[in-house]
């Protein structure tokens, strides 16, 4: 097994070209409510690209492996009244690795079977660190230290060196189950196997990890990972209390706020979010409202930073459809039936921002 060495340190500050792309962050409605007299620009300025919780949570993780450099086309939510943008956002696997290296300060091995994905991830990492330096949120030495903590490899066996593994591959049940079956054979007897799934049953994934079923748990990070503080923690039937406690402690050390969900279809976040998006599509499909009116009333009437149709574009319409299918099939409840128009858009290849066209068009 040949694992890449930690990436070379950043070049001297004087040789750096500062990133010119603007990466917007989600402004939670609670912030906007608490600061009603500030202009949108002032509220946006108050946000920070990274979670800023102090590194004070106790954990026993000495090395993290993240499998999957970027399992979904990510999105960054714009400040109020901003137009949809086309800057790329942190790919999810990298986002997890970055927060672990920066906030929990643990060495990380980022594993992907695609060298191109790893190269893209590390190039984006440099951009993120440069931006933090330009905003005086990181010193040169801090950025170098974070960069040095992240190593990359295409060799899955490198996961054996970690005592906490987070899987961030596409939402394909067979793929995840096969991966967990392989990881269970590779890792040590005390290693925690975490999945970043947003909808697939943890119990079914754990069943594939023969001999390690009790050490499987879900850590569902929200996009973009460096910004969003919430992480859903989900136990399968087999998950031990010790595994659950360890996962909670580690995400807290990453500066995140855990919320525990039962292993039910969609968990908490998508059980609430996806039907909301789906109903907005139904409103469009049945003529209750036009696209702009649907998004406008939700933005300006409920104080959310982005309307449901634009949000669906940024998540990916195929991802929304896949989760709605899980909800519908696993509950047999008609209220979760995917909108016909959502299916048609996916069939047409109109997947949202990542394909250039969804409910909106992106150049």
Q: Which residues are catalytic?
A: 198, 220, 232, 270
With beta carbons less than 8 A apart as the criterion, state whether 45 and 24 touch: no
Nearest residue to 218 (alpha-carbon basis) of 238, 228, 255, 229: 238
Beta bridge partners of 166: 66, 194
Residue 157 is given by DSSP the state G
Q: What are the tokens at 345?
A: 């858009």
Residue 222 vs residues 172, 206, 237: alpha-carbon distances, Å: 18, 22, 23
3-state SS class at 108: strand
The first and second tokens of residue 95, run together, are 């986002």
Query: In 222-328, which ranges are E strands?
Result: 230-235, 257-261
With a CB cutoff of 8 Å and minimum separation 6, the contacts of 110 are: 65, 66, 69, 93, 94, 97, 118, 121, 150, 151, 152, 153
Other CB atoms closer than 10 Å to residue 114's CB: what's the count?
Answer: 13
């Amino acid at each position: 097994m040949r694992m890449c060495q930690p990436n070379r340190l950043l070049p001297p500050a004087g040789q750096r070209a500062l990133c010119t792309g603007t990466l917007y962050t989600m402004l939670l409605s609670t912030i906007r409510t608490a600061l009603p007299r500030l202009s949108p620009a002032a509220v946006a300025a108050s946000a920070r690209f990274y979670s800023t919780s102090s590194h004070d949570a106790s954990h026993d993780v000495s090395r993290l492996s993240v499998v999957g450099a970027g399992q979904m086309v990510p999105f960054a939510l714009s400040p109020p009244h901003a137009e949809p943008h086309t800057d790329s956002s942190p790919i999810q696997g990298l986002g997890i690795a970055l927060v672990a290296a920066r906030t929990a300060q643990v060495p990380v091995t980022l594993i992907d079977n695609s060298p191109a994905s790893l190269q893209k991830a590390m190039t984006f990492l440099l951009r993120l660190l440069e931006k933090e330096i330009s905003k005086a949120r990181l010193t040169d030495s801090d950025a170098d230290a974070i960069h040095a903590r992240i190593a990359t490899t295409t060799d899955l066996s490198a996961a054996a060196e970690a005592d906490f593994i987070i899987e961030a591959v596409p939402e394909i049940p067979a793929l995840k189950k096969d991966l967990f079956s392989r990881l269970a054979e590779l890792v040590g007897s005390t290693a925690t196997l975490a999945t970043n799934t947003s909808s697939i049953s943890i119990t079914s994934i754990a069943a594939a990890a023969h001999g390690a079923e009790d050490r499987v748990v879900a850590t569902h990070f929200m996009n973009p990972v460096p910004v969003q503080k919430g992480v859903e923690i989900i136990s399968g039937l087999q998950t031990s209390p010790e595994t659950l406690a360890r996962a909670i402690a580690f995400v807290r050390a990453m500066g995140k706020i855990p919320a525990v969900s039962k292993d039910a279809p969609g968990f908490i976040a998508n059980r609430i979010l996806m039907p909301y998006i789906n109903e907005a599509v139904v409103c469009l499909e049945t003529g209750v409202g036009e696209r702009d009116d649907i998004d406008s009333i939700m933005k300006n009437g409920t104080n959310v930073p982005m309307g449901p149709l634009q949000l669906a574009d940024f998540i990916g319409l195929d991802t929304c459809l896949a989760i709605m299918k899980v909800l519908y099939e696993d509950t047999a409840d008609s209220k979760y039936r995917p909108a016909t128009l959502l299916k048609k858009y996916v069939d047409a290849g109109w997947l949202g921002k990542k394909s250039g066209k969804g409910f909106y068009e992106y150049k």
